[in-house]
Structure 1
Amino acid sequence: MKTAYTAGVATPHDESHAPGSRTAPLRLAIIDGDSGFLQVVEKRVRARGWQQRILTGAVPVDELVSMRLGALVIDLAVLGAPGWAYLEQVCAALPALPVIVCTGPSTVAQRVRALRIGADDWLGKPCHPEELVARIEAIVRRGRLAAPPVERPIVEAGEISIKPDQFQAFVGSRSLDLTRREFELIRLLAGNAGQVLEREAIYQRVWGYAMAHGDRSVDVFVRKLRQKLERASPQWRYIHTHFGVGYRFAPEPADGAGAQDGSAGDALETSIPDVLPNDFASIG
């Protein structure tokens, strides 16, 4: 199964990228094979600053979990006969995930069946992409309004304060000016402080899907993040390299940093280009 991924870039003050909330952009996955329909939907998705992932077939539930989706659109016709079982499996395993069936002509019995299985909405094709987007917005908005507020504690590490509600990290009152991807990276590393996280695991958690062989995106973003941390807090070292494995977050005074974190590690990462093939570094 092939997948494609596109992302819109939201401005800091754009409220449309997350219906009903100023949070990270909505992550939308669409299981559909109609390239023309997907193109016009993508224009609406980009306009709202959402991220869209196109799937050409069913994916395992655990992979959907790793994508950290805000909504899923399924064309049952693409999945064929197993589509109903897959829809039921997804709805049962991920009851909090908004699921919209957007497919061809159907009967009342089929629409009722999907809603009883757990789908949140059914939209028949042909349909206007703006209506599909509006239905997604409505379902996501209702879910967020119904959900109790989540307490997101501030993480203190060395001189750094990581504030999840602001998607930013600070030294005192000064922001590190992290991109969204850099913030997700430091939040993951700091949330597993003292543990060595493998590159593949970091990529899966931050990018939302499996890392391709030879992809150096993790190394590039770690280097950028490390540079920002050390410029803002030069007396501390936060991210430590474990060659051939991954990275460990552990705030240590600069004069006590381990040998693995010295010039060799910095030189290796400095040699990695900022622009990578098939990488999403441009969306930060």
Structure 2
Amino acid sequence: MESAKILIVDDEPDILDFLKYNLLKEGFEVYTAPNGEEGIKTAEQERPDLIILDIMMPKMDGVEVCRQLRSRPGFERTLITFLTAREEDYSQIAALEVGGDDYITKPIRPRVFISRIKALLRRSERTVEEESPNTVQVGDLLIDRDRVSVTKGDVVIELAKKEFELLYLLVSKPGKVFSREEIFNKVWGTDVIVGNRTIDVHIRKLREKIGDHYIKTIKGIGYKFEF
């Protein structure tokens, strides 16, 4: 996916130039925006394959930008990764909770940065290519992969992109215990490095949205879906 379109949103001109330079060298089509409001406008116009958001920005921070984009048609599966300070655990959790796919900690090292971006794009390509049923009905839950939607009875449940993928994986084999390693590999991919709290955050959010009795914790191993 070397011709992928990438949007960088950051209020620091030096960071924008630095990231843009390194991405252009790899053959990507790159767009930039100096703040969150402009970032949303540019995203709507250009429809990038991947968006890089700085969390700390004036007017509108990266978390709010992600939240707004995820609620708009056409951005349900757009890759979004955040730039965060190394010790900002709360920011990293917030980024995942609103539907971020990954986060990259500062200071940014060019080779690591490019590697993470390519890994995200490769993972996205594999996900699209995988064949699977369009819809899955489990109990009162109807999961539609084409529409990235979940309906519980007559109620539509809004899920972030990775929340949906995690639920879809668990529902694909009710009763099967998925280890944490297996979940990481299938939902985030072996190429993507994410924080240790990532699964816990997404499981908690899923339980809040669909009900806490569907997903069972198997202590020391992982999770399974029951109905």
The normalised TM-score by structure 1 is 0.40
Question: Which has more radius of gyration?
Answer: 1
TM-score scaled by structure 2?
Answer: 0.49
